[in-house]
Amino acid sequence: MKDILTAPFLKEVCKILDNMYRMGWDERNGGNLSYILKEEEVAEYLDLNQVIRVIPTIFDASALAGKIFIVTGTGKYFRNVMDAPATNLGIVRVGKDGKNLDLLWGYDDGGRPTSELPAHFRTHISRLENDPEHRVVIHTHATNVIAMTFVHSLEERAFTRTLWQMCTECMVVFPDGVGVLPWMLCGNDEIGIATAEKMKEFRLVVWAQHGIFGTGRDIDEAFGLIETVEKAAEIYIKVMHMPILQSITDEELKILADAFGVTPRAGYLNV
């Protein structure tokens, strides 16, 4: 059996978490990630019949029964993942009844999955209903996105339109727009339910005064969505205090959409 530390999926997770920490988005133990792994790829590195321990869940994840995830640990710092992946990450399989997780690898210090796991699992369920190829959920404290939620309307159409107008690539990357939630207590099922409801329509959900949830078929897609929104939010924060002499018009956004073969969310453009 191959060494799990050489697994491409583990290396990819370690790299992206370290990158987000270096970008200043995941201070202390902020942020979390969950990634659906294919059974056949995990089986090259782990004995799937060997369960280290069983971890009870506070959420009925029966809709995900049998699926294997790599998940960041609760209270863990992204900056430590690269040096100690087996302490800061875990690979778990959802039990048949959805009420327990089989720990297959990781959490070597007795740790557990992120406290945001209910929000992650509910999001995975919502996205899989829309896209069977969905695999990744990333939550991070993107700095300028958080700043934008203090000074901009949280109405989704207005929030999305501002982001689209900040950078040419935004319409191409997230034509479906951005979901937005008002401030809510994190780490409980209420915010997980609200996020999952938004994820029926969006691939990105902003948590006001907190951060962003991004999803995708792979890590590049999920991270790419987040960094594009963050870049647009950064531009907005930099220019919002100054007179705007020109910007991307709705007509130009429509030209962009047509040129790249994407469909803007209905009713968001005034054309």
Which positions are catalytic?
116
Checking phi first, is residue 80 left (phi over 0); if not, alpha (psi -120 to 50) or beta?
Answer: alpha
Three-state DSSP class for residue 21: helix
Element (H, E) at 164: helix 156-166
Distance CA 165, CA 270 (A): 13
Q: Is 151 exposed, middle or buried (0-12, 13-18, 19+ CB in 10 A)?
A: exposed
Q: 179-181 and 204-207 as β-strands: parallel, antiparallel, unpaired? A: parallel
Distance CA 151, CA 247 (A): 19
Distance CA 114, CA 228 (A): 25
> CB–CB of 139/209 below 8 Å?
no
> Burial letters for 161-200: b for 16+ Cβ neighbours within 10 Å, e otherwise?
bbbbbbbeebbbbbbbbbbbbeeeeeeeeebbebbbebbe
Beginning with the edge strand found earlier in the chain, give each strand of the sheet holding 68-72 in spatial order.
53-56, 100-106, 89-94, 68-72, 32-37, 136-140, 211-216, 204-207, 179-181
- Sign of the CA dihedral 6, 7, 12, 15? negative
Please state, as a whole number, how many other Cβ atoms lie within 10 Å of the Cβ of residue 202.
Answer: 25
